[in-house]
């Protein structure tokens, strides 16, 4: 009999031989399961070509040797052979990082995993006593550090956050304090049960709001918690919508989002001033937390609570309200963790007669960039908007001049540049407020770069609204996050 005979092949790097399967035979003596079995099992659990759901993602086991070497290299107490060259921890970390990177390519999920929701759970059929448990907690924390470095490599938005996550140790009906050879089988069972629990939770969820009943498919690949939060916020008056004024978001000292703000955004596509200001604050925090290289662009976002003062100032042709306007901008900058003077692009959300658009002072290109999804058919139609932008820049220049910004004097010579966008239409019902929020998120200071995914397909905007609400309310800096989740659960 050929024990090396192939009996299963999934990809060029994944193969099971007859010899590998002997450990699974009922009559076989107790032995560790072959790593090839676990590797192929992980690949099938992901099943990325047949199922788009990424509520769970499973890494293979081929990284174990790299992981073991990485962990040992970081433990000074480990004995080493003097004849063997001792490599630095970074060498093994790089090998581990590359092993994980190769795996997500093999499973064809590189892009999907960037937006996957993360939790941290420890599943083990072994029961550890108080003497051994601290060691495995430390071991787990080192693995999390390595995973954080990997997530940074693929630009996952939660790469730094997972370092602050607490371990959720999952209890099972059967655990043993003894070391057993069947732990590999239990690891495979845990993978199946965990995947079924995730899928079953979303699949069996009873939607209360009409919004989620209609748009549930837009939230594919999101966690059960995300579904529940959106369902909770989207309940409207016709469905006995309770407590519109419930505070669901609170940021820094005074930025507040109430339930009605989220409800109106989801159901009516209406964007409140509170949401705009909270979004600017959120994007500044994201910019501050980025692990960037020297050449990466720094973006800074103004809030929106200055809009009434700006309108009053411009109507008076800059003769009234200047002091109040400048104070609002100074107070905003003081409240932000990101330094205004460090930014190469300053984003200013504006509103003119219920029409919303974005102006970017682009110090890098020395331009004033105008992002607007409105289609202007004549120069006469555009002139009031152009005048409003240029007058606003004059007021902003005063702020930078007070701060002695090195490019303050040159700002008034910058040319106005209209950024071409893939979706533009007449002003009526063009949802300019929603698009402006999207432009703030994706515009990177280059002409149109990052905006190619916006289409006329409105499902794209629905997804944007959902994602925006979740990004704000489930962010760790939301001081109302835990209370919101408690109310959702109740």
**280 phi and psi angles, rounded to 5 deg:** -60, -45
Q: How far is CA 354 from CA 50, 331, 350, 429, 468, in A?
A: 45, 25, 10, 11, 21
Instruction: Return the C-alpha torsion angle 441, 442, 443, 445, nearest 10.
Output: 100
> CA distances (Å), 286 to each of 69, 250, 292, in order?
33, 17, 11
Whether 275 and 193 map to the same domain: the answer is no
Between 2 and 490, residue with greater pLDDT: 490
Of 175, 203, 231, which residue sits at a domain end? 203
191 and 214 within one domain: no
- What is the pLDDT at residue 427? 64
Residue 397 clears pLDDT 50, i.e. is over it: yes
Which tokens go with 51?
A: 């199922």
Same structural domain, 409 and 310: yes
Do 276 and 337 lie in a common domain?
yes
Query: What pTM, to 2 d.p., does this model score?
Result: 0.61
Share of the chain above pLDDT 70, in %: 65
- In degrees and rounded to multiples of 5, residue 386 shows phi and psi of -60, -45
Residues 98 and 224 in one domain: no
222 and 168, same structural domain? Answer: no
Tell me how many domains the chain contains: 2
Domain containing residue 186: 6-203
CATH number of the structural domain spanning residue 56: 3.40.395
* Contact between 471 and 230 (Cβ < 8 Å): no
Same domain, 111 and 245: no
Is the residue at 1 inside a domain? no
Are residues 329 and 189 located together in one domain of the fold? no
Is 184:32 a contact under the CB 8 Å cutoff? yes
Residue that is last in its domain, among 174, 203, 232? 203
Mean predicted confidence (pLDDT) in 359-368: 94
Determine phi and psi for 160, rounding to 5 degrees.
-80, -30
CA 136 – CA 116 distance, rounded (Å) = 26
Asked if 180 and 234 sit in the same domain, the reply is: no
Residue 92 in contact with residue 70, Cβ under 8 Å?
Answer: yes
**In this structure, what token pair is assigned to residue 382?**
């555009």
Summary mean pLDDT of the chain: 77
DSSP, collapsed to helix, strand or coil, labels residue 123 as coil
What pLDDT digit, counting tens, does each position of 92-149 carry? 677 778 887 887 777 777 666 766 666 666 666 667 666 666 666 677 777 788 888 8
Residue 197 predicted with pLDDT over 70: no
């Amino acid at each position: 009999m050929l024990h090396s005979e192939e009996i299963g092949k999934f990809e060029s790097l994944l193969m099971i031989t007859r010899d590998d399967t002997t450990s699974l035979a009922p009559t076989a003596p107790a032995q560790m399961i072959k790593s090839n079995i676990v590797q192929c099992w992980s690949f099938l659990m992901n099943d990325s070509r047949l199922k788009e759901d990424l509520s769970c993602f499973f890494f293979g086991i081929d990284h174990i040797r790299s992981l073991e070497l990485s962990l040992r290299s970081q433990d000074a107490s480990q004995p080493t052979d003097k004849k063997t060259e001792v490599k630095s921890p970074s060498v093994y970390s790089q090998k581990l990082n590359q092993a994980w990177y190769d795996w997500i390519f093999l499973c064809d999920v590189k892009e999907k995993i960037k937006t996957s929701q993360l939790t941290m759970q420890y599943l083990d059929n072994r029961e550890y006593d108080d003497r051994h448990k601290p060691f495995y907690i430390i071991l787990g924390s080192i693995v999390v550090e390595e995973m954080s470095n990997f997530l940074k490599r693929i630009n996952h938005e939660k790469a730094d956050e997972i370092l602050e996550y607490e371990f959720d140790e999952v209890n099972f009906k059967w655990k043993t304090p003894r070391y057993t050879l069947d732990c590999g089988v239990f690891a495979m069972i845990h993978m199946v049960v965990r995947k079924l629990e995730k899928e079953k939770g979303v699949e069996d969820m009873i939607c209360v709001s009409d919004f989620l009943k209609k748009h549930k498919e837009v939230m594919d690949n999101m966690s059960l918690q995300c579904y529940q939060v959106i369902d909770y916020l989207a309940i409207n008056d016709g469905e006995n919508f309770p407590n519109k004024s419930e505070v669901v978001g609170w940021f820094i000292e005074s930025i507040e989002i109430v339930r009605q703000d989220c409800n109106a955004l989801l159901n009516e596509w209406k964007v409140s001033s509170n949401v705009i200001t909270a979004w600017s604050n959120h994007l500044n925090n994201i910019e501050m937390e980025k692990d960037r290289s020297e050449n990466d662009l720094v973006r800074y976002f103004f809030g929106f609570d200055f809009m009434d003062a700006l309108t009053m100032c411009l109507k008076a042709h800059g003769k009234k309200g200047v002091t109040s306007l400048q104070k609002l901008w100074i107070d905003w900058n003081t409240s932000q963790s990101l330094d205004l003077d460090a930014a190469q692009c300053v984003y200013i959300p504006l509103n003119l007669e219920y029409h919303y658009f974005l102006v970017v002072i682009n110090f890098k290109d020395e331009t004033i960039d105008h992002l607007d999804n409105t289609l202007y058919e004549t120069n006469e139609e555009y002139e009031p908007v152009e005048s409003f932008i240029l007058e606003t820049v004059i007021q902003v220049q005063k702020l930078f001049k007070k701060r002695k910004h090195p490019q303050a004097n040159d700002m008034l010579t910058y040319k106005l540049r209209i950024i071409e966008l893939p979706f533009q239409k007449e002003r009526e019902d063009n949802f300019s407020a929603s698009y402006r929020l999207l432009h703030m998120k994706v515009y990177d200071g280059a002409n149109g770069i990052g905006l190619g995914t916006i289409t006329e397909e409105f499902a794209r905007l629905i997804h944007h609204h959902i994602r925006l609400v979740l990004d704000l309310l489930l962010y760790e800096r939301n001081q109302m996050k835990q209370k919101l989740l408690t109310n959702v659960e109740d």
